[in-house]
Chain A
Amino acid sequence: MAQATAEGGLKPAMLGSPRPGGWDLFRSSAEQRLEGVELPGQGEEAWKYLDLRPLWELPFRPAPPSRVEACPTILPEAKASRLVFLNGRCDPHHCSVAGLPDGVAFRTLVPGEAALGTVLGEEPAFFPDLNAARFMEGAILRVPAGCRVVTPLHLLFWNQGGEGCPVVLPRLFVHLGAGAEATLVEEHAGEGAYLSAPVVEVLLEEGAVLDHERIQREGPEAFHFATLGAQVAGRAAYRSRTVSFGAWISRQEPRIRFTGEEAELTLDGLALLGGRQVADTHSRIDHAHPRCVSGQLHKCVAGDRSRAVFNGRILVHPGAQQTDARQQSRNLLLSEEARVDTKPQLEIFADDVKCAHGAAIGQLDPEELFYLQSRGFSPELARNVLTYGFASDLLGRIAVPSLRRRLRHAVLDRTEGGAQLEGL
């Protein structure tokens, strides 16, 4: 069928390539789920706002190995706790894990060592299934019970576009034992046109604490379809912030489930879009146990002809009493042609709960603009300062100082003349 090839260039290209070693059962069941499944289309409710037609005609192929001379980004705090993957393969030249406590594993995943797919579940889903079927090398972070890792860990997935449209399928498994603590920076970046479909699974046992900073700054022609699954046990805390600057078309799909009582979740997101960028976040939080607290702040800045989508679903299951769930979607439109679609979705099946959500879409406040102008700021600078102000509270929460600074600069770079804001 002609249509099938048009829409399905990605799947045949990947499934037609040799299956990498390890996880045979896991991979073959993913292949089975993919049978008869095509790239999601706008006919599907969950993909209604994301037009994937630009992917139809592309000559996808598995990404070839790649090299870089110098490590593209270095966080000073994580000099000796860094893993670098180039086009989906770990590059030992740029890795250094000398600074980690005994018993902490931060390295390439060994076949059989982690029960991949258990956190995410086996519900069919195009991109995670594609990842399961053909991911090259995975990464693992395992912190034993009671171990507090003070040094932040940096995991960089660097992708190199090129001939055709290389496909990279990064995979990460994070497992913190009871009472363990860590800070992980997961960064996706690259150059040229390529497609990356990462899958991250996070398993937090009783009382574990993970700060998870996720940076998406893929190249401007790239596609990025990320899936995150997390299970948060009793009294554990999962604090995740996703900052999206890059890619042409991108999607974040975090799915968080509490598996015990009195656990805590922060699920923040910031998307800064310009040009013709499209960024979609579809999140799901499952409050399945009593007395868990979740806070979700999602912010989008949409300039030029960009488009942002937010769909935040929160399910409070029967019996999840005294759940405290707050969700905010705040959006700033910088141009007439930019567009934001936001949809909070609270489904509550317990009676003793505190849930609040709100969504706001707005432009820069003319009174604020005038106030700055009356102090000598050019209109352009005033707009940049206010845009920065909108994004800055979220960046301020990032747990790694050098990363916080770098991201602030990245926001400033996105606003013309932003260099003047140095020191803000």
Chain B
Amino acid sequence: MLSIRHLTARIGETEVLRGIDLEIRAGEVHAIMGPNGSGKSTLGKVLVGHPAYEVTGGEVLFQGANLFELEPDARARAGLFMGFQHPIEVPGVSNTAFLRLAYNKKAEAEGRDELDPLEWEDFIREKIRLVEMDAAFLDRSLNEGFSGGEKKRNEILQMAVLEPRLAILDELDSGLDIDALRILGEAVNRLMNPDRALILITHFPRILEMIQPDFVHVLNGGRIIKQGGKELAHELEARGYDWVKDESLAGRA
């Protein structure tokens, strides 16, 4: 579904991604871990086309097509989604109108019918049940004045509405209370199916108990320095990152 080859990218003068290779197939869940500033969010934002980052080398194929030939909105309509670490507030635009428009744009791109207002009501009611969100949040401005956890919940609501082929969730678990983490973890699981894939960026194994990864990658200094299965997350929790860094230095020496 997604093939990343030798991807390098920078922001301003800083080379943040320094050669990423990653292969993601349908049905897989990949966790990306790594110290602060190692480039995890950058990788996600480069994939969804944030204009602040410049791709300096390598290539990415998404469902067989060159990802970088698509504008960010076309990537979204093709089924790529990122739940951001710090979602933006958009005053004056109601959450429900925004969600409906996003849904209809995607439906239009896929040649499906748009939902009329009544169908939309049913559709969105089911989605907010999935993420156990209070319906009052639908009428508020998009993310405006939402708490950190409420913003994360709203990101998963957007994911539920858009049903992406590949979702990148950047620190979904940061800022969530224990119940919210369980609810959203279950919601994400229910949104997965063999045709879809998931990249989870996280610092903590707790969420990986809920959403079981097939692979865990450790990012450091803009490179993937170690890969393993789910057990790697626990090892990192117990031992920190230094031993991985040491191993990787030794390997390269």
Contacts of A39 in B (CB 8 A): none
Question: Which among B92, B94, B158 is the interface contact of A375 at CB below 8 angstroms?
Answer: B158
Which A residues touch B93, using CB under 8 A?
Answer: 385-386, 388-389, 392, 424
Stretch from A44-52, A192-200, A336-344, A364-372 at the B interface? A364-372
- Find out whether the CB atom of A379 lies under 8 angstroms from the CB atom of B73: yes
CB contact between B76 and one of A367, A376, A388, A421 (< 8 Å): that residue: A376
| A377 in contact with B141 (CB, 8 Å) | no
**A 24-62 binary contact with B (CB < 8 Å = 1; else 0):** 000000000000000000000000000000000000000
Q: Which of B71, B81, B91, B92 has the most CB of A within 10 A?
A: B92
Residues of A within 8 A of B162 (CB): 375-376
A381-B105 CB under 8 A given contacts A376-B73, A388-B93, A389-B93: yes
Chain A residues 375 to 400 lying within 8 A of chain B, measured CB to CB, are: 375-379, 381-382, 385-386, 388-393
How many whole Å from A2's CB to the nearest CB in chain B? 51
- Residue of A367, A376, A388, A420 with most chain B CB atoms under a 10 A cut-off: A376
CB of A345 closer than 8 Å to a CB of B: no
Which residue of chain B has the shortest Cβ distance to A379 in the bound complex?
B73
A373 close to B (CB within 8 Å): yes
For the complex formed, measure the closest distance between the CB of B43 and the CB atoms of chain A, giving whole angstroms. Answer: 15
The chain A residue sitting closest to B50, CB to CB, is: A370
Expressed in whole angstroms, the Cα–Cα distance for A370 and B92 within the complex equals: 17
Once the chains are docked, how many angstroms separate the CA of A375 from the CA of B98? 9
Please, which residues of chain B bring their CB within 8 A of the CB of A423?
97, 100, 117
Contact with A along B25-62 (1 / 0, CB 8 A): 00000000000000000000000111100000000000
B71 touches A389 (CB 8 A): no
Q: Are A420 and B101 in contact (CB under 8 A)?
A: yes
Given contacts A366-B51, A381-B105, A421-B101, whether A374 and B76 have CB atoms under 8 Å apart is yes
Q: Which residue of A lies closest to B51 (CB)?
A: A370
Could you give, for residues 68-100 of chain B, a 1 whenever the CB lies within 8 Å of some chain A CB and a 0 otherwise?
000111011100011010011011111001101
Complex Cα distance A375/B105, Å?
A: 9
- Judge whether A377 and B88 touch: CB under 8 Å: no
Query: Is B22 an interface position by the 8 A CB rule?
Result: no
Instruction: Tell yes or no: B109 within 8 A of A by CB.
Output: yes
Contact B101 A374 (CB under 8 A): no
A389-B141, A424-B101 given; A370·B94 CB < 8 A: no
Instruction: Count chain B residues whose beta carbon lies closer than 8 angstroms to a beta carbon of A.
Output: 33
B105 touches A389 (CB 8 A): no
Residue interface bits A91-111, CB-to-B below 8 A is 1, else 0 = 000000000000000000000
By secondary structure, the B interface counts as helix
Report the minimum CB–CB distance from A407 to chain B (whole Å). 14
Task: Give the nearest-CB partner of A366 in chain B.
Answer: B51
Assess the A378–B97 pair: CB atoms within 8 A.
no
Q: How far is the CB of B42 from chain A (nearest CB, A)?
A: 14
Q: Is the CB of A378 within 8 A of B92?
A: no
* Closest residue on chain B to residue A390 by CB atoms: B92
- In the assembled complex, how far is the CB of residue A302 from the closest CB belonging to chain B, in whole angstroms? 17
Chain B residues contacting A420 (CB-CB under 8 Å) are 101, 104
The answer to whether B49 touches A376 (Cβ under 8 A) is: no
Q: Using a Cβ cutoff of 8 Å, how many contacts connect chains A and B? A: 85
Cβ A376 vs Cβ B105 within 8 A: yes
Q: Which residues of A contact B183 (CB under 8 A)?
A: none
CB neighbours of A388 from chain B (8 A)? 92-93
CB pair A377–B73 under 8 Å, yes or no, is yes
**A395 shortest CB reach to chain B, Å:** 10
Give chain B nearest CB distance to A420 CB in angstroms: 7
Q: A420-B101, A423-B117, A424-B97 are in contact. Are A373 and B92 (CB under 8 A)?
A: no
CB pair B92–A421 under 8 Å, yes or no, is no
> In the complex, A386→B162 CA distance in Å?
20
Given contacts A370-B51, A389-B141, A423-B97, contact A377 B105 (CB under 8 A): yes
Contact partners of B210 in chain A: CB under 8 A: none
Select B102's contact among A377, A379, A390, beta carbons within 8 Å.
A377
Chain A positions within 8 Å of B50 at CB level:
370, 374
A1–chain B nearest beta-carbon distance, Å: 52
B106 at the binding interface (Cβ < 8 Å): yes
Name the distance in Å between A270's Cβ and chain B's nearest Cβ.
12
Tell me if B87 and A371 are in contact (CB < 8 A): yes
CB distance from A290 to the nearest CB of B (A): 34
With the chains together, A373 CA to B82 CA distance in Å?
11
The contact of A374 among B82, B92, B97, B109, by CB within 8 Å, is B82
Task: Determine the chain A residues whose CB is within 8 A of the CB of B87 once the complex forms.
Answer: 371
Are A376 and B141 touching (Cβ within 8 A)? no
Interface residues of B in 98-136 (CB under 8 A from A): 98, 100-102, 104-106, 109, 117
A68 CB, nearest partner CB in chain B, Å: 34
Q: Which residues from 148 to 207 on chain B have a C-beta closer than 8 Å to any C-beta of chain A?
A: 158, 162
* Closest A residue to B120 using CB positions: A423
Are A424 and B76 in contact (CB-based, < 8 A)? no
Determine if B97 and A421 form an interchain contact, defined as CB atoms under 8 angstroms apart: yes
- Inter-chain contacts of B72 with A (CB < 8 A): 370, 373-374
Set of chain B residues within 8 Å of A374, measured between Cβ atoms: 48-50, 72-73, 75-76, 81-82
A389 close to B92 (CB less than 8 A): yes
> Do A373 and B141 form a contact, CB below 8 Å, given A386-B90, A420-B101?
no
**Minimum CB–CB distance for B230 against chain A, Å:** 29
In the complex, A381→B71 CA distance in Å? Answer: 14
Q: Could you list which residues of chain B lie within 8 angstroms of chain A, going by C-beta atoms?
A: 48-51, 71-73, 75-77, 81-82, 84, 87-88, 90-94, 97-98, 100-102, 104-106, 109, 117, 141, 158, 162
Query: Can you list the 4 inter-chain pairs with the closest CB atoms, starting with the nearest?
Result: A389-B92, A376-B76, A424-B97, A389-B93
**Given contacts A372-B90, A373-B71, A376-B105, could you give 6 more A-B pairs where the C-beta distance is less than 8 Å?**
A374-B49, A374-B75, A374-B76, A376-B76, A385-B93, A388-B92
The 12 sampled A-B contact pairs (Cβ below 8 Å) are A368-B88, A375-B76, A376-B77, A376-B102, A376-B109, A377-B101, A379-B71, A382-B73, A386-B93, A388-B93, A421-B97, A424-B94
Residues of A within 8 A of B (CB): 365-368, 370-379, 381-382, 385-386, 388-393, 420-421, 423-424
